[in-house]
Amino acid sequence: MEVGRVATLAALALANLPVRPFRVRETIRLIGFIGVDSLPIVLLSGLFTGAVFTVESYEAFRLFGAQGLVGGTVGVALTRELAPTLTGLLVAGRAGSALAAELGSMRVTEQIDALHAMAVDPVNYLVKPRVIAATLSVPLLTALFDAVGIAGSYAVAHWELHLSDPEFWIRLRAWVDWADIEAGLIKGTAFGFVIGVVACSRGYHTEGGARGVGLATTQAVVISSVTLLVLNYFIALALAEST
């Protein structure tokens, strides 16, 4: 039942993309809320993810005298997997929960019913801007996660592990190409769409007053997070078969 609700809302949101009004200002506001306001936690997470992954991979490669592989390994892991997945999970926890709570509150206070009474399509008016904003914000945050993660990796490799600059950057440039970055951005776009649709669906179909809003918020985070991890596997599999 829940899958059907989410799929139906996703189809309606896509069908409403060319339908006026476009609510550009509201979409920009939501991009600010979902994307810009998420920058601190995404950048901080990216910095320390790159740093800790560098330390752990260095310790493993040192057993074989292959410390020079650290830069390339961290770069590929960040761009293809860690950046889109962790960014999606962070956005789902911070912004997805807020979107579900906002629409859930509007549902239990009958504001969505009032839109119906005024012949205003709630999906076009409320859901579409949120789905668009989430879909655009997550890949942009993923790109920033990549950059900060690699910067954190380089800082640890250079200052803490004393790897030479050529040893780090040559392998990084040799291993990481546009296909890796593109894979991460594709995942980020898909994850953003899932977060927006799931959060809006849980909020849109909220029942049971204040308790229902709290339950919808929790479910939005849990369902989004699990869906991202499952979807990540299938996208990675599809990208691997296409190369």
In this predicted model, what pLDDT tens digit does every residue of 192-229 receive, in sequence order? 999 999 999 999 999 988 899 999 999 999 999 999 99
- Arithmetic mean of pLDDT, 138-155: 97
CA distance 138 to 133: 9
Query: 112 and 122 in contact (C-beta within 8 Å)?
Result: yes
pLDDT in tens, 101-130: 999 999 999 999 999 999 999 999 999 999
Report pLDDT for 68.
87
Local confidence band at 66 (pLDDT 50, 70, 90 cut-offs): confident
Report pLDDT for 210.
87
Q: Is the pLDDT of residue 230 over 70?
A: yes
Q: Is the pLDDT of residue 28 over 90?
A: yes
Report pLDDT for 1.
65
Q: Is the pLDDT of residue 243 over 80?
A: no
Output the CA–CA distances (angstroms, integers) from residue 113 to 25, 103, 122, 178, in the order listed. Answer: 23, 12, 9, 47
pLDDT in tens, 77-104: 999 999 999 999 999 999 999 999 999 9
Q: Is the pLDDT of residue 62 over 80?
A: yes
Q: Is the pLDDT of residue 74 over 80?
A: yes
Selection from 139, 124, 137 nearest residue 17 by Cα: 124
